[in-house]
Amino acid sequence: MRLSISNFKIIAVTVLASALFLWIGYRFVCIQLGYPNPEYKTEMWLGNTARMREFLYEKLPSKTGEKTIFVVSGSNSLFSIASDVLSEKTGYKVKNYSLHAGMHIDILFSQIRNKVKAGDIVVAPLEWEARDRVLINQFDYENYLHYFSQSVEPSPLVLYNIFSAVPLRRWAIGFKTYLYQPHDSVSYRNFYTDESLNYTWKHRPGNENYTHRALNEFGDINIELPITSATWKDKSIFKVPEKADSKWLEILGGWNDYFENKGARFVVTSPILLEGNGPEIFSKNIWGNIGNLRDQMEFTKTPLYCDPVSATFSSIYRYDTSYHANAEGARLRSKELGECMVEFINGKDVKTKKINPDLVIPEIKHRLIKQRENFGSGNMLFQVRLRELHRINEEISGFHSKTGSYPKSSVDESWGLPVGMNISMRDDLGVTYWSNGLSYKLIAKAPKTECAVVVANWPEMVDPVGLENDDGTQCSGFGYWTDEQKLR
């Protein structure tokens, strides 16, 4: 009996000591004191975005028995999904839980663990690069422990994987930081209280990114801006591995089982791909690798769904990277993804067909040409300016066909308006005109922020006058002219 009591005491002390050690260790690693270690990359926007979405989703109108599409991926769907469009197309409520491709898929999917219910659909347009990532890494645990932990409900196994991935050096740094930080420090989560999070969102400026303030009321980041000069000069930044890691597919299959047990369906699709200043989107090697991934996934629990060609878009719809659409690109992407989901919901086979790069690449080129017609879909200011220029130029050409001369400028020997014909011109678009009757130049004196998208899609319209180092992305305007006035 004494031996049993003694053993019990030893076990009890061991358990208590272990629990105390784990608690202290947890505090050392989390360092909830408001002072990040400069050696480790932490991004507060992840946790704030996750928290803000929950506030936004609480406000979404609900109907009894309503089903939900959950979108989970890295930032390609954070920027490139318009949840309202996808919802209208499918009839499902849509909640977008996409965040950052650098995070392990176990952490991303843990956001919706215990949220998914019978009849729901989980759509995962996961970035190509993520498909050979299987380990919790520094980016995962650092961001999870600091900013993200209270927004995720991981399983005990995932939680173990997160903590066991923390290197000893990180524990030592945590111990040192925990001991020496001031006592009046603020926790990471309390950098933004719930009240300040909501206040700053309500008073947000337009077109922010990588912050909770950038979210619209549907939980997406949809930015109404075209590509910039710096963005276009960068090469496309997506890569496609030759094959997915078998462990990654196993993890994905585990999530498929989890969602199936909940009565939900799991759909893995291609991410969006936006045309960039590089050959990737037209590369046979890239599309050969996508085909390999499709073939590899075909016989797993998570095959690839939908046509990846329908996820390709012109740089007209690019915001910054090849994975980030602007608002109009997000609407178009969501419309096409929604069409695939409607067929899926109706029981049609929408698994990705075999991919032949020799056939796919011409199809993509034709698709992007069609997207450029009428200067693309949408009404961003550069598109309005280009359409106005085109309309006026058509009228000028018609005048020349009838009279044999061009309408002269309303200001003699200077820039003005076409005279002698009934042409209305919007003053706010900066359109100006010069002609001596024999030749002409019609230009929109546009801001440089519109030059990159024009030079990427309609380079012949960029005014060559005043270019900095012959750089079309730094133009002073764009429009139409006769050869004699090209350099006027």
CA–CA distance, 396 with 418 (Å, rounded to integer) = 8
Instruction: For strands 312-313 and 304-305, give the pairing.
Output: unpaired
Asked whether 311 and 336 are in contact (CB, 8 A), the reply is: yes
3-state secondary structure 401-429: HHHCCCCCECCCCCCECECCCCCCCCHHH
CA–CA distance, 472 with 451 (Å, rounded to integer) = 7
Residue 146 gets which letter from DSSP?
I
Give the per-residue pLDDT at 25: 64
Does residue 29 fall inside a structural domain? no
Residue 204 gets which letter from DSSP?
P
Q: What is the largest CA-CA distance in the chain?
A: 117
Q: Are residues 368 and 433 in the same domain?
A: no
Does residue 214 fall inside a structural domain? yes
Residues of the chain with pLDDT under 70: 1-9, 17-41, 177-178, 180-189
Q: Between vectors from CA 109 to CA 222 and to CA 261, what angle results, nearest 5°?
A: 130
CA–CA distance, 143 with 409 (Å, rounded to integer) = 61
Q: Are residues 323 and 402 in the same domain?
A: no
Give the per-residue pLDDT at 275: 95
Give the per-residue pLDDT at 184: 53
Q: What Rg, from alpha-carbon coordinates, does the chain have?
A: 28
Asked whether 310 and 80 are in contact (CB, 8 A), the reply is: no
- Closest of 217, 211, 218 to residue 197, by C-alpha: 211
Q: Are residues 216 and 312 in the same domain?
A: yes
CA–CA distance, 235 with 252 (Å, rounded to integer) = 30
Domain boundary among 373, 408, 437: 373
Q: Are residues 259 and 339 in the same domain?
A: yes
Q: Are residues 392 and 358 in the same domain?
A: no
Asked whether 83 and 68 are in contact (CB, 8 A), the reply is: no
Give the per-residue pLDDT at 191: 74
| pTM recorded for the entire structure | 0.90
Total number of domains in the chain: 2
Q: The domain containing residue 474 runs over which residues?
A: 381-485
CA–CA distance, 311 with 301 (Å, rounded to integer) = 22
- Closest of 160, 82, 49, 88 to residue 330, by C-alpha: 82
Strand, helix or coil at 234?
coil
Domain boundary among 345, 373, 401: 373
- Tally Cβ neighbours within 10 Å of residue 185: 13
